[in-house]
Amino acid sequence: MPNLLAVSDLHVGYADNAPFVEDIRPRSAGDWLIVAGDVADRFDQIVATMRTLRDRFDTVVWVPGNHELWTLPGDPLGLRGVARYLRLVRALRDIGVTTPEDAYRVWDGEHGPVVVAPLFLLYDYTFRPAETRSKSDALAVAEAAGVLCTDEVLLHPDPYPTREAWCAARLEHTRARLDALPADARTVLVNHFPLVREPTRRLRYPEFALWCGTEHTVDWPVRYRAEAVVYGHLHIPVTARIDGIPHHEVSLGYPHEWDAPGALPRRVVRVLGDGGGA
Ligand SMILES: [Fe+2]
Ligand SMILES: [Fe+2]
């Protein structure tokens, strides 16, 4: 029986991650693979890696991470924000990868039918410490803790004025699509950032949660009848049940993180399938 597998944060710019990527293989004929963002920083590496995975799996579903959206100095495309995102969507569609801009695919394997919904929602600085009253307060606290996210320099929101404005637009667009699903449709919700705040409590520096999601999605797993939620970004690969729904963080992350004290094993997660499922 086919499986619905998931992985994220392959960061293939790190050569030591190559053996892990090489081992991402179907376990059965017809397996699907979810890739939940942060494949690489460079456009060419993102597309090449996704092509490799697309060639191995029946269906590959992708959402962008923050790293896909960075515009690095000297980037040959020179595209920022929405333009960069849409160029990526086009390139990945061309090789047969399902993106957040495509019709949602329906998993008809074990535990199906389930709508697999790749979401691109970004973050809006609402996951901030309770003692801070505004984004600027929270940014000052994060900066003092030495955890200012590189997105502040490299992830441009153009043509939106801010990343939170881009996030708000993505939330509105995505909510409309999910609201249009049949009232009994079960889902697998895929987003680079966690949909609820609980996973960010495990961060070594909780101030970093600012760049990790939005309070506006905390009721989405229940509201949209999720069989499972798949996310990455935190580089803390763990499955936790929240409101009875498994939330799978499926990150590979950076090589130096694998052997850090308390590090959890890196793995490809079976979200649905033979022996898997919610
Ligand atoms: Fe990452
Ligand atoms: Fe990330």
Encode pLDDT of 111-130 as tens digits.
999 999 999 999 999 999 88
- Residue 116: closest CA among 168, 58, 198, 56: 58
CA of 248 to the centre of ligand 2 (A): 15
CA of 261 to the centre of ligand 1 (A): 19
For 87, residues 6+ apart whose C-beta sits below 8 A from its C-beta are 43, 77, 79
- Residue 217: closest CA among 172, 177, 166, 184: 172
CATH fold of 4-272, please? Purple Acid Phosphatase; chain A, domain 2 (3.60.21)
CA of 193 to the centre of ligand 1 (A): 10
Encode pLDDT of 71-84 as tens digits.
999 888 999 999 99
- Closest ligand (CA of 7): 1
CA of 123 to the centre of ligand 1 (A): 14
How many whole angstroms separate alpha carbon 248 and alpha carbon 97?
Answer: 21
CA of 1 to the centre of ligand 2 (A): 32
pLDDT at 49: 98
Encode pLDDT of 227-271 as tens digits.
999 999 999 999 999 999 999 999 999 999 998 888 889 999 999
CA of 192 to the centre of ligand 2 (A): 7
Amino acid at 184: D
CA of 122 to the centre of ligand 2 (A): 10
- Closest ligand (CA of 253): 1
Asked if 202 and 249 touch (Cβ cutoff 8 Å), the reply is no
pLDDT at 22: 97
pLDDT at 208: 95
CA of 62 to the centre of ligand 2 (A): 14
Half-sphere CA count of 3, side-chain side, radius 13 A? 16
For 93, residues 6+ apart whose C-beta sits below 8 A from its C-beta are 99, 101, 102
For 35-48, b/e burial (b = at least 16 CB within 10 A) is bbbbbbbbbeebbe
pLDDT at 278: 43
- Residue 214: closest CA among 248, 165, 249, 141: 165
Encode pLDDT of 2-37 as tens digits.
999 999 999 999 999 999 999 999 999 999 999 999
Within 10 A of 114 (CB to CB), how many other CB atoms are there?
A: 25
The DSSP symbol for 249 reads: E
Amino acid at 20: F
CA of 41 to the centre of ligand 2 (A): 10
CA of 68 to the centre of ligand 2 (A): 9
Q: Which residue has the tokens 């609201």?
A: 179
Domain ranges of the chain: 4-272
For residue 275, what pLDDT band results from cuts at 50, 70 and 90?
Answer: low
How many whole angstroms separate alpha carbon 17 and alpha carbon 253?
Answer: 8
CA of 191 to the centre of ligand 1 (A): 12
How many whole angstroms separate alpha carbon 274 and alpha carbon 86?
Answer: 35
CA of 231 to the centre of ligand 2 (A): 10
Q: Which residue has the tokens 């691109």?
A: 120
- Closest ligand (CA of 12): 1
pLDDT at 130: 86
pLDDT at 133: 87
Within 10 A of 28 (CB to CB), how many other CB atoms are there?
A: 13
The DSSP symbol for 251 reads: B
CA of 120 to the centre of ligand 1 (A): 15
